[in-house]
């Protein structure tokens, strides 16, 4: 019986190519998106679950409070881990990770010259006890237990030595010092929040040999014993803090608190915490899950609509089968089988589609989408369940309609599926509601993204490049600067702690010169070329001069050293822009005087308001060299800068980054959302339009005779299109109203996440609605034109 059903389904699909094509394509697109999103969500959800006992592994986050302001950080002091291991019996093991890339890049030499590497960390000898990655070479207990040992990942070993076996036992020069390669590990999987190329023994580092309670630069991970209670563990931490830091905390007026965070919650957790790899805002996962469901619903609705509409064409078959003794449930089974065959085909095509798309999509999603989670037993069961569910969802309503027809009616030509019309109309409204809504949301999101690119940042991010500048080079800085400017490929050059894109260092400022009132500010260290190079605007007072630089180095404590404030600082300190100049403050532990005020600039992402900032001279804190290149073709200037750099700094490669790109980088996740939204709303509209095409075809077919009569009576083509379009326009109008309401609500809540929001304008709404309307008119026009051109003598003959 089932064999028979499937055979008939296949033949039916073959016969009705347009109908089957629309349904198959629609379902395939919808299911491909659904599966791709599903795999993406699965990947994000699976972060850090691959370690043995991953539910017992916690990262210790730290809250540091001073002067009423507290800061949550994901790093902690180097003394924390040894103390926990020694004093807490419930701790099974633990490890410490020092991600060097937050400070600087590293020069690596395997005997073939220096290359700059970023994914470098110091970890202690228990790293592999906590994170049990596979070792391809080396003894688990022995690696990383002595100073100057290093473990490479498989890819890195291949890159430098050709193979894991080749690498083991070799010497690698790191910043000129010899490290012995004691092991090679598997590559960090894409769903681990840890991501390094080099793991060096923490014993090499000063704090590895002498743990201290300051600074707090280290990620600490503990693995609790089985059955240990995390709440009990956390409750014991304050006593430990008191024991080691109590006296200091009282003396200097700060306080510490530690909060264990499950390792599995790092990736999707608090995004403002520093992490080794950028996390994913869980909000976006929810949004994508909803979009995935919407797409499948749109695809399913296509099927339901077309299949019910098509029922009129199949009434003869249904009638005959009933006459021959088919029971209702048997017919029902047949039609459900048909929808399942189609769904299964669509799922099959989707799997192929994802396989083919995984490569091109890697850049967009940030990892290679793998079908592996689906190719396991639970995966197959899931697919089967999905086919049955979607097949039923799509098939149940048309099957009920078809199998419920009375045989005499069905055999005659008197079938009117009038009762189902409102269901179909309702479904069309839902489809267009979803697709117009998605389109509006896409346009609104795009608006905000463009706004963030174009907003006046207060500095000039174009033609500005940044080179990582190692502190070793600081003595040579002046010479390098002069030489590079001389070649004519640099307009101005400055040393700075960071790019102006994100400055994070926190300082305290005491405006009265005493310890009365404290304001937390962001401190931006640089040299006297910084304002000019970054394009910051001075609104009162003066910029730093070369004399300031010299005097600074001689530590002129009497007059204090000069600083620049931004507008927010001035306001928070209670001054005006004009009278701020010349004021004395206590800043960073010394006396300082305000030399000038700069216009506010965005030194943080636009999710935040511009906070108070102090710019001060301190070349010792330099991490980057900012270079403003002249207008014109940047590649020529970069080439000549590179040449000059090679002669000046032969041991460090000329690795630069455009500041505007670094700026755009901050909005990667928003940009991704924007692109994906665009793709998915395009798909949604496409699928919905295909459905509309099918439905209009069906209506046109059913009204062929009516149109024939109208034509005989003198109706023009426009009249005929009008007759067919009128019904659909009412539906589209209703859908548009719903879409406006819901997308308005969505964008209001999404924009809440930005301190700087674009104004919500009317045009995205109009554009979306008009676009969908236009495409619908074209669809309807095309279809009705075909009917219109039929010869009335033919269309009127039937019946």
Partner 1 sequence: MIQLTELDKFIESRFQRVFLLKGIHLTINEGEFLTLMGPSGAGKSTLLNILGLLDEDYQGTYSFLGKDIRAMKAKERSNLHKSEFGYIFQAYHLIDELTVYENIETPLLYRNVSSSDRKSIIAELLDRFKMVAKKDLFPAQLSGGQQQLVGIARAVAGKPRVLLADEPTGNLHSAQAKEIMEVFQELHREGTTIIQATHARENADYGTRLIQLIDGRIDSDEQIA
Q: Interface with partner 1 by CB under 8 A: which residues?
A: 1, 4, 7-8, 11-12, 15, 316-317, 320-321, 323-327, 330, 407-408, 411
* Token pair for 590: 């010394």
From CA 533, how far away is CA 543, in angstroms rounded?
12
Contact by Cβ (8 Å): 201, 145: yes
Tokens 């024991």 belong to residue: 243
What is the chain's Cα-based Rg?
Answer: 34
Say if strands 198-201 and 120-123 run parallel, antiparallel, or are unpaired.
parallel
Which one, 326 or 521, has the nearer CB to partner 1?
326
The token pair at 225 is: 């014993």
Q: How far is the CB of 401 from partner 1 (least distance, A)?
A: 19
- Please tell me whether residue 90 adopts helix, strand or coil conformation: coil
In whole angstroms, what is the distance from residue 298 CA to residue 202 CA?
55
Region for residue 714 given its phi and psi (left: phi exceeds 0; alpha: psi -120 to 50; beta: otherwise) = left
As beta bridge partners, residue 149 has: 180
| Of residues 1 and 377, the one with the C-beta less far from partner 1 | 1
SS3 content of the chain, % helix, strand, coil (to 5): 55, 15, 30
Q: How far is the CB of 25 from partner 1 (least distance, A)?
A: 22
- Say if residues 593 and 557 touch (Cβ distance below 8 Å): no
Outline where DSSP puts E strands in 114-164. 114-117, 120-123, 135-137, 149-153
Token reading at 508: 């305290």
Nearer to partner 1, 12 or 399 (CB): 12
Distance CA 726, CA 141 (A): 77
Beta pairing class for 561-566 and 177-185 = unpaired
CA-wise closest residue to 273 among 291, 284, 261? 261
Q: Least distance (Å) from partner 1 to the CB of residue 347?
A: 24
User: In this structure, what DSSP letter does residue 230 have?
Assistant: H
Q: Quick one: tokens of 449?
A: 């993204």
Shortest distance (Å) from residue 293 CB to partner 1? 34
Nearest alpha-carbon partner for 447 in 765, 759, 771, 770: 759
**Residue nearer to partner 1 on the CB measure, 75 or 312:** 312
The nearer residue to partner 1, 327 or 546, going by C-beta atoms, is 327
Concatenate the DSSP letters of all residues of 708-722 into one string: HHHHHTT--HHHHHH
Instruction: Return the SS3 of 575.
Output: coil
CB of 334 to partner 1, least distance (A): 10
- Say how many CA atoms lie within 13 Å of 492 toward its Cβ: 13
Q: How far is CA 120 from the centre of its chain?
A: 23
Find the distance separating the first CA and the last CA of the chain, reported in whole Å. 35
Question: What gap in Å lies between CA 236 and CA 228, rounded to an integer?
Answer: 13
- Cα separation values, 764 from 29, 437, 751, Å: 25, 11, 15
CA distance linking residue 167 with residue 159, whole number of Å? 10
> 3-class SS at 354?
helix
Closest to partner 1 by CB, 3 or 227: 3
If the CB atoms of residues 15 and 251 are measured against partner 1, the closer one turns out to be 15
User: Looking at beta carbons only, is 324 or 558 nearer to partner 1?
Assistant: 324
Q: Could you give the CA distance from residue 599 to residue 610 in angstroms, rounded to a whole number?
A: 11
Nearer CB in complex with partner 1: 4/165: 4
Beta-carbon contacts of residue 271 (< 8 Å; ≥ 6 apart): 279, 281
The rounded distance, in Å, linking the Cα atoms of 627 and 612 is 25
Minimum distance of partner 1 from residue 358's CB (angstroms): 38
Could you count the other beta carbons within 10 Å of the beta carbon of residue 779?
21
In the bound state with partner 1, the residue whose beta carbon lies nearer, of 119 and 321, is: 321
Q: Which is nearer to partner 1, 11 or 17 (CB)?
A: 11
Quick one: 2 or 422, whose CB is closer to partner 1? 2
- Rank residues 223 and 314 by Cβ distance to partner 1 and give the closer one: 314
Residue number with CB closer to partner 1 (415 or 563): 415
Cα distance between residue 534 and residue 659, in whole Å: 10
Residues 629/638, Cβ–Cβ less than 8 Å: yes
Nearest to 461 by CA among 671, 658, 756, 667: 658
């Amino acid at each position: 019986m089932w064999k028979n059903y499937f055979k008939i389904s296949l033949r039916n699909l073959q016969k009705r190519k347009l109908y089957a094509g629309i349904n198959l394509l629609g379902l395939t697109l919808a299911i491909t998106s659904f599966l791709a999103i599903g795999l993406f969500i699965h990947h994000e959800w699976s972060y850090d679950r691959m370690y043995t006992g991953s539910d017992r592994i916690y990262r210790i986050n730290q809250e540091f409070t001073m002067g009423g302001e507290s800061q949550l950080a994901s790093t902690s002091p180097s003394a924390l881990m040894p103390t926990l291991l020694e004093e807490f019996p419930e701790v099974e093991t633990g490890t410490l990770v020092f991600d060097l890339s937050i400070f600087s890049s590293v020069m690596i030499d395997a005997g073939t010259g220096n290359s700059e590497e970023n994914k470098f960390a110091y970890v202690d000898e228990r790293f592999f006890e906590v994170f049990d990655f596979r070792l391809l070479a080396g003894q688990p207990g022995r690696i990383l237990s002595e100073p100057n040992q290093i473990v490479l990942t498989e890819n890195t070993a291949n890159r430098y030595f050709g193979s894991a076996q080749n690498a083991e036992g070799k010497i690698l020069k790191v910043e000129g010092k010899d490290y012995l390669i004691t092991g090679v590990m598997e590559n960090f999987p894409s769903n681990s929040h840890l991501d390094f190329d080099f793991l060096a023994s923490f014993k090499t580092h000063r704090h590895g040999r002498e743990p201290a309670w300051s600074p707090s630069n280290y990620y600490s991970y503990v693995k609790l014993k089985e059955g240990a209670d995390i709440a009990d563990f956390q409750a014991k931490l304050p006593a430990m803090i008191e024991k080691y830091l109590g006296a200091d905390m009282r003396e200097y007026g700060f306080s510490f608190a530690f909060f264990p965070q499950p390792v599995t919650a790092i990736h999707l957790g608090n995004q403002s915490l520093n992490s080794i790899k950028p996390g994913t805002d869980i909000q976006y996962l929810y949004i994508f899950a909803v979009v995935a469901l919407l797409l499948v619903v749109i695809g399913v609705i296509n099927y339901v609509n077309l299949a019910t509409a098509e029922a009129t064409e199949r009434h003869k078959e249904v009638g005959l089968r009933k006459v021959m003794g088919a029971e209702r449930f048997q017919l029902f089974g047949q039609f459900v089988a048909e929808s399942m065959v189609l769904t299964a085909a669509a799922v099959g095509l989707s799997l192929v589609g994802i396989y083919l798309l995984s490569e091109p999509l890697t850049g967009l999603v940030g990892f290679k989408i793998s079908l592996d989670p689906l190719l396991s037993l639970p995966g197959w069961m899931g697919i089967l369940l999905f086919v049955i569910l979607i097949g039923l969802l799509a098939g149940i309503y048309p099957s009920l309609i078809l199998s419920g027809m009375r045989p005499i009616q069905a055999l005659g030509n008197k079938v009117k599926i009038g009762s189902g019309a409102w269901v179909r109309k309702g479904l069309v409204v839902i489809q267009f509601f979803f697709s117009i809504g998605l389109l509006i949301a896409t346009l609104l999101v795009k608006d905000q993204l463009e706004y963030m690119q174009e907003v006046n940042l207060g500095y000039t991010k174009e033609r500005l490049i940044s080179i990582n500048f190692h502190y070793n080079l600081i003595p040579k800085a002046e010479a390098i600067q002069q030489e590079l400017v001389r070649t004519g490929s640099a307009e101005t050059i400055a040393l700075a702690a960071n790019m102006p894109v994100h400055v994070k260092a926190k300082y305290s400022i005491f405006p009265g010169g005493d310890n009365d009132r404290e304001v937390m500010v962001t401190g931006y260290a640089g040299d006297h070329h910084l304002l000019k190079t970054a394009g910051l605007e001075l609104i009162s007072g003066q910029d730093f001069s070369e004399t300031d630089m010299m005097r600074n180095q001689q530590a002129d404590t009497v007059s204090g050293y000069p600083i620049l404030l931004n507008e927010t600082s001035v306001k928070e300190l209670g001054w005006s822009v004009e009278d701020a100049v010349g004021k004395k403050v206590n800043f960073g532990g010394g006396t300082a005087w305000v030399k000038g005020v700069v216009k506010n600039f965005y030194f943080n992402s636009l999710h935040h308001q511009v906070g108070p900032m102090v710019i001060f001279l301190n070349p010792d804190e330099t991490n980057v060299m900012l270079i403003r290149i002249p207008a014109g073709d940047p590649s020529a200037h970069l080439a000549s800068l590179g040449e000059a750099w090679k002669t000046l700094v032969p041991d460090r490669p000329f690795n630069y980054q455009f500041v505007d790109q670094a700026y755009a980088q901050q909005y990667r996740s928003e940009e991704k959302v924007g692109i994906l939204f665009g793709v998915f709303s395009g798909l949604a509209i496409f699928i919905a339009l295909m459905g509309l095409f099918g439905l209009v075809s069906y209506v046109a077919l059913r009204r062929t005779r009516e149109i024939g009569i109208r034509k005989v009576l003198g109706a023009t083509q426009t009249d005929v299109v009008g007759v067919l379009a009128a019904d659909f326009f009412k539906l589209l109008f209703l859908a548009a109203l719903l879409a406006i309401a819901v997308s308005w609500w969505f964008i209001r809540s999404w924009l809440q996440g930005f301190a700087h929001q674009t104004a919500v304008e009317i045009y995205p709404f109009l554009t979306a609605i008009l676009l969908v309307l236009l495409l619908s008119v074209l669809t309807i026009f095309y279809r009705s034109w075909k009917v219109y051109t039929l010869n009335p003598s033919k269309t009127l003959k039937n019946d």
